[in-house]
Amino acid sequence: MRMLSKTLLLAWVVFLTNAMPGTVRIQAAMPLPWQDQDIGAVVLVGSATYAGGLFTVLGSGDDIWDVADGVHFVFQSLDGDGEILLRVVTQDMSTHAWAKAGVMIRETLNADSAQAMMVVTPGQGTSFQYRMSAGQLSTDATPGNGVIAPCWLKMVRSGDTLTGYLSADGSTWVEQGIITIPMANPVYLGMVVTAHNNAALSTATFDNVQVVTPQKTAPSIIVQPQSLSMGDGGKATFSVTASGSLPLSYQWQFKGANLAGANGTTLTLDPVLASQAGVYNVVVTNSLGSIVSSNAVLTVISDTTPPTVTGRNLLLLRLTPVRENCFCVRFIGAEFTPL
């Protein structure tokens, strides 16, 4: 029975390794956290292996272009900023002049995903290409530079900005294209190979593959909100300065309770009311945790000077409350001098 279980397990692994397009493969030779899969309508199943620092990737597919991709993708997830750089060591020159091998950052693993990539081709040099949103037509910046493998390629994500680079030596990088594409985290970055020919498999090899991400830090408060004394009816503004890995979110509190809509680096009260006197603070949060600011006390100074009206033969018509501690007074009379 145990032998049968092992046989079934082996059969299951073999099935997954040779599964239909779109299935993530289990490859014992692939170093974690790398995964690989075919994306889009590919006819021939692609594959990826790793040995001695060299990735060997085989991919079919019509192209990485138009409104959807046909490609083999070796990838890992990325949450936030980061970059991937590598050397394309070799590329199959026989499947099409527009066969592609290189680096890509894409929002999803769907064929029509927003993406940007830096690739080399057998006959068109290098190319920076992108799709702004799911299902949109692709755009490229192809300089016709005649570059073929081996060459160094890099893609960088900083916020919503994606930039492609080319290098002859892996040290000096030249920007090839830049585009702003909002993508929800996590995104996927990695190596792509397409044959530009769905009846063939194109092979490319990659080495010196590096994924670089900035060190993430929990939020910290650099400048604390300060206590204020303000007359009622005035304008009070609290502010905070924080650092930490982006994105940072803010939630202001009054007497320990969240203030609805108070989610910025400043909190403004205008006009100040006597009922708003008390303790304020702000909670700053990112993916690594939260920090609460020191308390800032708002002291509201009420104007106790009684209102006066000068004139003769005055008659009070109406006393209307406008807001807390503020009334509208209407008089008639022979002479009236407002203050």
- CATH number for the domain formed by residue range(s) 220-301: 2.60.40.10
Position 215 scores a pLDDT of 85
Greater pLDDT, 51 or 302: 51
Report residue 116 as tokens: 């940007």
Element (H, E) at 298: strand 296-301
Least confident segment among 102-106, 141-145, 271-275: 141-145
- Any idea which architecture 2-212 has in CATH? Sandwich (2.60)
Mean pLDDT of 277-287: 97
With cut-offs at 50, 70 and 90, classify the pLDDT of residue 89. very high
Q: 40 vs 58, 137, 313, CA distance in Å?
A: 15, 15, 89
Cis peptide before 150 (omega within 30 of 0): yes
Q: pLDDT tens digits for 291-319?
A: 999 999 999 998 766 666 565 555 555 65
Q: State how far the Cα of 288 lies from the Cα of 36, in Å rounded to an integer.
A: 29
With cut-offs at 50, 70 and 90, classify the pLDDT of residue 14. very low
Position 322 scores a pLDDT of 57
Mean pLDDT of 235-263: 96
Whether 12 has a pLDDT exceeding 80, the answer reads no
Q: Where are the domains of the chain?
A: 2-212, 220-301, 307-339
With cut-offs at 50, 70 and 90, classify the pLDDT of residue 247. confident
Greater pLDDT, 304 or 69: 69
Whether 285 has a pLDDT exceeding 70, the answer reads yes
CB of 211 closer than 8 Å to CB of 253: no
